[in-house]
């Protein structure tokens, strides 16, 4: 029976890593790179751009999923350690172990990977996040309405503002275009002048 606890804990930690990495990847993926991939026919990039149009719904779904698996993992670990070590010691050990495990494997490692390779990670998790968002829609809808109301009290809109870019950002986009082979050197010079 104890092995079943271990298997379930591993699955829950993997799910925690998935949600944490997905959050970082989707929100840090470069808009212009995704848009470029979309124009080249990349359906995964197109899906990420659609998901990002409603950031409050997206983050609501991801956080509901992540909190659910983290709470389930912590509860399961507590039951496991209580059976092995007794009530008091088991609770203390479970708290310490799960804090370290969730922090390291459920947060830091997946977020670091996602921040390092945001477009790759985002396009890998996009479809799963899309279906999770659909599955959690009733709960996400309720939480989104409440959070929009709270944000509204402070005069904050959860929708992304129209995107204006600075001259430095434009230079960066042109540089990326050249690196990706989208722009020829002559086109780069023309755009920069």
> pLDDT tens for residues 22-64?
999 999 999 889 998 999 999 999 999 999 998 889 999 999 9
Whether residues 148 and 170 share a domain: the answer is no
Instruction: Give 105-140 pLDDT, tens digit per residue.
Output: 999 999 999 999 999 999 999 999 999 999 999 999
3-state secondary structure 117-143: CHHHHHHHHHHHHHHHHHHCHHHHHHH
One domain, residues 96 and 174: no
Confidence class for position 103, pLDDT limits 50, 70, 90: very high
Domains identified in the chain, total number: 2
Q: Which residue did the predictor score with more confidence, 97 or 164?
A: 97
The residues, any chain, with a CB within 8 Å of residue 183's CB and separated by 6 or more, are 174, 177, 191
Answer yes or no: is pLDDT of 166 > 60.
yes
Domain range spanning residue 180? 162-193
Residue in 19, 13, 10 with CA at minimum distance from that of residue 133: 19
pTM beyond 0.85: no
Average pLDDT, the chain: 91
Same domain, 77 and 59: yes
Q: Are residues 85 and 150 in the same domain?
A: yes
């Amino acid at each position: 029976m104890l092995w079943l606890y271990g298997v379930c804990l591993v699955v829950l930690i993997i799910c925690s890593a998935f949600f944490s990495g997905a959050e970082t990847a989707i929100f840090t993926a470069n808009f212009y790179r995704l848009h470029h991939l979309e124009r080249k026919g990349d359906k995964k990039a197109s899906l990420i751009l659609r998901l990002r149009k409603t950031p409050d719904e997206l983050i609501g779904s991801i956080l509901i999923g992540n909190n659910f698996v983290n709470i389930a993992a912590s509860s399961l670990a507590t039951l496991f350690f209580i059976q092995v070590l007794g009530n008091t010691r088991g609770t203390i050990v479970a708290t310490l172990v799960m804090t370290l495990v969730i922090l390291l494997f459920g947060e830091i490692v997946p977020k670091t990977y996602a921040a390092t390779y945001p477009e790759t990670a985002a396009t890998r998790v996009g479809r799963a996040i899309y279906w999770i968002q659909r599955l959690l829609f009733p709960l996400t809808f309720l939480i989104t309405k409440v959070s929009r109301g709270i944000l509204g009290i402070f005069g904050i809109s959860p929708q992304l503002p129209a995107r204006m870019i600075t001259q430095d950002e434009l230079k960066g986009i042109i540089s990326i275009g050249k690196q990706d082979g989208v722009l020829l050197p002559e086109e780069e010079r023309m755009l920069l002048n």
